[in-house]
């Protein structure tokens, strides 16, 4: 390398170090989990239960919210085994409510949770479900169900908690979206739309609550091995299965660890795996900035990631085309026989 090459490299390294050092200036102050009240919707199963376990391991009091009381009780027994504190203040509480139904029931249920374990410091909106199928094979009620459970549940829960967080000038709110909330995928016309909606909600709300020291995290997990995922597999079109397989299958524990650590530091996007990081950089748009390092990385890598995404898109289109050919030939041979 020439002398000018070395100088350029040195300038680049100094620039990165300065950015790294300045980054915390615009980052939210971390919020501790120890002694905090963490309310997890969808806390009786899968990613929500794994989040509750991680929070309890770090000293939090936890409320699990879901509908099925038996599942909630079983989850409470399991989560309680991870309680770390010797005194009796670290507890696990359960609330059974249908978050997608009416707002007053959710508000009442959450007031009861706050009476039991104190004001909510971390609200984790994880309750959700999915339905997969080609657009014309899904019923109109499937579309409504996705919006009610994946979007309105989060609206109800967040509406019930935000006023008190604003009054206390502190809090964290998590929306568990999905990689299908970053890109629209074959078979997910109903699901993707409901998860995209969470992004609009999160970006707009973050602007409103930042002056009150409340920070939002929007999480985009890839396929995760949970009972919800196994249920979804039963109706997934072949195309959706083949496309989803490109980002692998994670454990709920892995996903929960990343979401929780990003939430503590107030990161707006929480992404897992290389694919996830690429997607978040590529789709960052006008999203809030919580770290100078992250913003720089987005500016520098966006063009490159767009090029990579074109290869992914071509690969997905090939999958869809091949599946169509296979279906057409199966339909042809059925007609002949
Ligand atoms: N697993 C994945 O591959 C994956 C990937 C990306 C994103 N996600 C998202 O991550 C979240 C959790 O997924 P998961 O796979 O862990 O799901 P899961 O194992 O099926 O758990 C879903 C949880 O939500 C609760 N719930 C569902 N509808 C509810 C309602 N109307 N009111 C209150 N609670 C309700 C369920 O309990 P009850 O049924 O008893 O109410 C359960 O506790 C979902 O939002 C999902 O979309 C999952």
Structure tokens at 155: 């609206």
Stated as kind and residue range, the H or E segment containing 216 is strand 214-220
DSSP state, 200? H
Domain membership of residue 240 (yes or no) is: yes
Stated as kind and residue range, the H or E segment containing 123 is strand 122-125
Predicted confidence pLDDT, tens digits, the chain (337 residues): 788 888 888 888 888 888 778 777 788 989 999 999 999 999 999 999 999 999 999 999 999 999 999 999 999 999 999 998 777 789 999 999 999 999 999 999 999 999 999 999 999 999 999 999 999 999 999 999 999 999 999 999 999 999 999 999 999 999 999 999 999 999 999 999 999 999 999 999 999 999 999 999 999 999 999 999 999 999 899 999 999 988 889 999 999 999 999 999 999 999 998 899 999 999 999 999 998 888 988 999 999 999 999 999 999 999 999 999 998 888 888 777 7
Pocket test for ligand 1, best of 39, 40, 46 (most atoms within 8 A of CB): 46
Closest to 126 measured CA to CA, from 180, 80, 195? 195
Tokens 């996007």 locate to 269
Euclidean distance between CA atoms 186 and 244, whole angstroms: 10
Domain membership of residue 294 (yes or no) is: yes
Residue 118's region, left for phi above 0, alpha for psi from -120 to 50, else beta, is left
Domain membership of residue 180 (yes or no) is: yes
Domain membership of residue 172 (yes or no) is: yes
Domain membership of residue 234 (yes or no) is: yes
- CB-based pocket (< 6 A), ligand 1: 41-42, 44-48, 66-68, 71, 98-100, 126-130, 149-150, 153, 176, 178, 221, 223-224, 226-229
Tokens 């002949």 locate to 336
Number of domains in the chain: 1
Structural domain range at position 180: 29-302
Domain membership of residue 315 (yes or no) is: no
Euclidean distance between CA atoms 269 and 182, whole angstroms: 11
Q: Which atom of ligand 1 is nearest to the CA of 252?
A: 16
* Side-chain-facing half-sphere of 16: CA atoms under 13 Å: 7
Domain membership of residue 42 (yes or no) is: yes
Euclidean distance between CA atoms 286 and 275, whole angstroms: 20
How many angstroms does the Cα of residue 42 sit away from the middle of ligand 1? Answer: 5
CATH of the domain at 128: 3.40.50.720
Euclidean distance between CA atoms 220 and 223, whole angstroms: 10
Structure tokens at 71: 């599942």
Domain membership of residue 5 (yes or no) is: no
């Amino acid at each position: 390398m020439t002398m000018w090459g070395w100088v350029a490299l040195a300038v680049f390294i100094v620039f990165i170090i300065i950015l790294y050092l300045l980054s915390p200036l615009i980052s939210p102050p971390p919020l501790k989990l120890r002694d905090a009240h963490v309310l997890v919707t969808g806390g009786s199963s899968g990613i929500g239960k794994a989040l509750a376990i991680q929070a309890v391991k770090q000293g939090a009091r936890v409320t699990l919210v879901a509908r099925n009381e038996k599942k909630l009780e079983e989850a409470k027994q399991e989560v309680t085994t991870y309680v770390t504190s010797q005194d009796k203040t670290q507890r696990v509480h359960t609330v059974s409510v249908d978050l997608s139904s009416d707002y007053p029931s959710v508000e009442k249920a959450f007031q009861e949770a706050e009476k039991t374990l104190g004001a909510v410091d971390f609200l984790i909106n994880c309750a959700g479900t999915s339905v997969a199928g080609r657009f014309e094979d899904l019923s109109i009620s499937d579309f409504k169900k996705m919006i009610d459970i994946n979007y309105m549940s989060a609206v109800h829960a967040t509406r019930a908690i935000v006023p008190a967080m604003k009054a206390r000038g502190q809090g964290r709110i998590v929306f568990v979206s999905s990689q299908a909330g970053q890109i629209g995928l074959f078979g997910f016309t109903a699901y993707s739309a409901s998860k995209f909606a969470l992004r609009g909600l999160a970006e707009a709300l973050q602007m409103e609550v930042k002056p009150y020291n409340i920070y939002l995290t929007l999480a985009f997990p890839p396929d995760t091995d949970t009972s919800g995922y196994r249920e979804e597999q039963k109706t997934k079109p072949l195309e959706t299965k083949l496309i989803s397989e490109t980002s692998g299958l994670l454990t709920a524990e892995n996903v929960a660890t990343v979401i929780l650590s990003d939430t503590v530091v107030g990161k707006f996007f929480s992404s897992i795996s290389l694919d996830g990081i690429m997607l978040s950089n590529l789709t960052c748009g006008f999203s809030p900035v919580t770290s100078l390092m992250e913003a720089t990385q987005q500016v520098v890598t966006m063009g490159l990631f767009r090029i990579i995404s074109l290869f992914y898109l071509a690969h997905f289109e090939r999958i869809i085309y091949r599946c169509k050919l296979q279906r057409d030939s199966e339909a042809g041979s059925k007609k002949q026989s």
